[in-house]
């Protein structure tokens, strides 16, 4: 449908409301309370600037069509939602109209937050879940991005991150699964293949026997392991003898191929004989974050990263690699260890999955 045709059909708000009624069959237009809900939903969605916040780039020829269709779609979802009763919907609309649905501070300050700290009450939480998948994939939007832009006038998708919160670009990762500990996305795209890592290590003769033994020995499940995580790799190196400077060369080659210049702090810790695997992991995760943040091809020029997990009802907000490690050490994140020798290339990156608060 062309834009001008759409506008002719829907230039009358009353007609759009009538279409909402026909879509939402369980609402009775003769019921005064239900009629008020429909009228109120449409008016608030139309007037509070939702479209300007979550439609960052739309061809000018389609602007009218897309805006009107989206307003109608949002209104239908609110009216039709079976998550809330009529009174709860009115309460939700009070909060939406007053811009009191979302505590945006939780997206701007480092910390570990429960879902009740992020959203103003259970009814807002339910409407966030209602809109979780709304518009996902549209204009490269991820899950939850449109939902937040709908719920808060201080959040939009017009910035250089996934979302813009009060002028600050934010990288948003959402694990929408109800499963506790479900992954919210790794800190990086692409990665390094197992074959590439093994090719690098093959240039160091010291690894021939240890790697052959590790990948050739059956594990707990009978079959030989297919991957090697970072801490196991450090333990292996601690049992090996290296000529002076040789261990640093290994670190430069292995970590440098993943994080380039950001690998230096990892190598500095790793190069020491009997390096503490957990100290190397700390350096690795911090470097991963700073590399990810500095790479504009990885989600844009964002300043803060938020990882929200529906399954645990919690979120972490972090602005630096050091801050991420501080949250990890405080128990705010599940203790996932990146694979130095992965089965899939992205496994070399850390996945920040928040624990329940």
**Residue 14 main-chain phi, psi, to 5 deg:** -60, -35
pLDDT one-digit tens code per residue, 292-309: 999 888 767 899 999 999
Q: Which residues pair with 111 in a beta bridge?
A: 317
Task: Give the start-to-end residue ranges of the domains of the chain.
Answer: 3-157
Q: What is the arithmetic mean of pLDDT over 124-143?
A: 78
pLDDT at 140 over 80: no
Q: For a pLDDT cut of 70, what percent of the chain falls above it?
A: 76
Q: Which of 94, 120, 107, 95 shows the shortest CA–CA distance to 156?
A: 107
pLDDT at 118 over 80: yes
β 168-175/228-229 pair status: unpaired
pLDDT band at 50 (very low <50, low <70, confident <90, very high): low
Q: How far apart are CA 223 and CA 14, in angstroms?
A: 66
Q: How far apart are CA 133 and CA 295, in angstroms?
A: 27
Collect all residues with Cβ–Cβ distance below 8 Å to 58 and sequence separation of at least 6. Answer: 66, 67, 139
pLDDT band at 56 (very low <50, low <70, confident <90, very high): very low
- Dig out the tokens for 161 from the structure: 């991150």
Across 5-14, 134-143, 228-237, least confident range? 5-14
């Amino acid at each position: 449908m062309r834009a001008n045709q759409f506008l002719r059909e829907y230039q009358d708000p009353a007609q759009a409301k009538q279409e909402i009624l026909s879509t939402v069959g369980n609402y009775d237009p003769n019921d005064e309370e239900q009629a008020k809900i429909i009228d109120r939903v449409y008016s608030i969605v139309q007037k509070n600037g939702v479209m300007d916040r979550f439609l960052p780039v739309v061809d000018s020829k389609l602007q009218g069509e897309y805006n009107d269709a989206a307003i109608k779609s949002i209104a239908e979802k609110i009216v039709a939602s079976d998550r809330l009763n009529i009174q709860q919907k009115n309460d939700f609309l009070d909060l939406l109209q007053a811009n009191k649905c979302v505590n945006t501070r939780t997206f701007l300050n480092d910390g570990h937050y429960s879902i009740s700290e992020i959203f103003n009450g259970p009814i807002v939480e339910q409407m966030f879940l209602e809109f979780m998948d709304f518009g996902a994939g549209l204009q490269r939007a991820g899950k939850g991005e449109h939902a937040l832009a709908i719920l808060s006038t201080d959040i939009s998708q017009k910035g250089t991150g996934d979302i813009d919160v009060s002028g600050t670009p934010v990288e948003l990762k959402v694990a929408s699964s109800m499963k506790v500990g479900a992954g919210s996305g790794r800190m990086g795209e692409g990665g390094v293949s197992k074959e590439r890592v093994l090719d690098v290590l093959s240039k160091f003769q010291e690894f021939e026997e240890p790697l052959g033994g590790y990948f050739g020995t059956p594990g707990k499940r009978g079959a030989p392991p297919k991957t090697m995580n970072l801490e196991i790799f450090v333990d292996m190196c601690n049992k090996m003898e290296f000529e002076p400077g040789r261990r640093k060369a290994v670190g430069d080659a292995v970590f440098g191929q993943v994080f380039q210049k950001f690998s230096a702090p990892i190598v500095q810790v790793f190069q020491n004989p009997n390096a503490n695997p957990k100290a190397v992991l700390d350096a690795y995760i911090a470097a991963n974050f700073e590399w990810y943040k500095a790479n504009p091809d990885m989600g844009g020029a964002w300043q803060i990263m938020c990882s929200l997990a529906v399954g645990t009802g919690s979120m972490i907000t972090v602005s630096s690699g050091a801050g991420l490690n501080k949250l990890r050490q405080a128990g705010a994140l599940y203790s996932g260890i990146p694979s130095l020798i992965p089965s899939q290339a992205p496994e070399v990156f850390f996945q920040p999955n928040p624990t329940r608060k």
